[in-house]
Amino acid sequence: MLWTRNELLIILNLYHKLSFGQFHARHPAVINVATKLGRTPGSVAMKLSNLASIDPAMRLRGIAGLRGASRLDRTVWEEFHENPDESVPASEEAFRNLFDAQDDDEVYVLPKEGVCVIKRPPQGPTTVSANVKVRRGQDYFRNAVLNNFQGRCGVTGISIRELLIASHIMPWNTHPEERLNVRNGLCLSRLHDAAFDQGLITFDNELKLVLSSSIRNILDNKAASDCFGAYEGHPLDLPNDASLPDSDFLAFHRNMIFRS
């Protein structure tokens, strides 16, 4: 059975929320998506690996993926990455529709549990379509970034999802072209996200935590010492198969936002 464009948008959405090592028929999210699509987990896993063969980030890491990507695979891949403002929210909406999620529901792809839909009561009047598109893009970015860090803060390792933020390295409001780029994202606790956003911390070329003088001057305070001093000079905690934060984006943060 041939794959449709809508199905490929769903698979691409899943592709960016899993790591290469999770592209197998036993992964809960692969099974969940396959069941909803009426396909076998093996066929979904194979399609994910086909897409890996045309992913330049995979090639840089020496990962070949599976040969056999179709012309439609390549066309949808290009559309997805060349026009993310339109294609990413569309893929997120298609993914949510596959699991019958309502407008206010939260949909997560979790590393161990698979696809989870958390029902939420309506929050008020229907949001205008433009805002819905923004929200769907934000939903995608959060899921993809948190999963890229295996659902843990890159600094502290805390794994309570409600306390984690998908932080933008290049700011959301000034760099719209990078808003949905997973390599423009860091998974940080709410505290460390706020510090990063305000330029109180940053990361060097080796992804090690650097503290501003504002924080270093108060390290005699136990809270500051425990939350920041204990991690100074430690690299971001990333899985081996994660997409690394873009080094140019981090350099921008050090030069333009960090308050040394």
Model confidence at 62: pLDDT above 90: no
Model confidence at 122: pLDDT above 70: no
> Which of 94, 116, 148 is the last residue in one of the domains?
148
pLDDT of residue 58: 85
| Domain assignment of residue 153, yes or no | no
71 and 17 belong to one structural domain: yes
Quick one: average pLDDT of 247-260?
95
Place of tokens 């009047």: 125
Closest by CA to 243, choosing from 52, 95, 8, 73, is 52
Say how far apart CA 80 and CA 196 lie, in whole Å: 29
154-194 pLDDT, tens digit per residue, is 999 999 999 999 999 999 889 989 999 999 999 999 999 99
Domain total for the chain? 2
| Domain assignment of residue 156, yes or no | no
Quick one: average pLDDT of 75-104?
94
- List the domain range (segments joined by +) for residue 61: 5-148
CB 202 within 8 Å of CB 235: no
pLDDT of residue 241: 84
Percentage of the chain modeled with pLDDT above 90: 79
Distances in Å between the Cα of 234 and the Cα atoms of 17, 62, 76, 224 are: 26, 27, 39, 16
| Domain assignment of residue 253, yes or no | yes
| Domain assignment of residue 133, yes or no | yes
* Separation of first and last alpha carbons in the chain: 57
110 and 231 belong to one structural domain: no
Model confidence at 63: pLDDT above 70: yes
Q: pTM score, two decimals?
A: 0.85
pLDDT of residue 125: 56
Q: Which residues of 153-182 are buried (b: 16+ CB within 10 A; e: fewer)?
A: bbbbebeeeeebbbbbbbbeeeeeebbbbb
Model confidence at 129: pLDDT above 90: no
105 and 218 belong to one structural domain: no
181 and 141 belong to one structural domain: no
pLDDT of residue 47: 97
pLDDT of residue 128: 52
Mean predicted lDDT score pLDDT of the chain = 93
100 and 186 belong to one structural domain: no
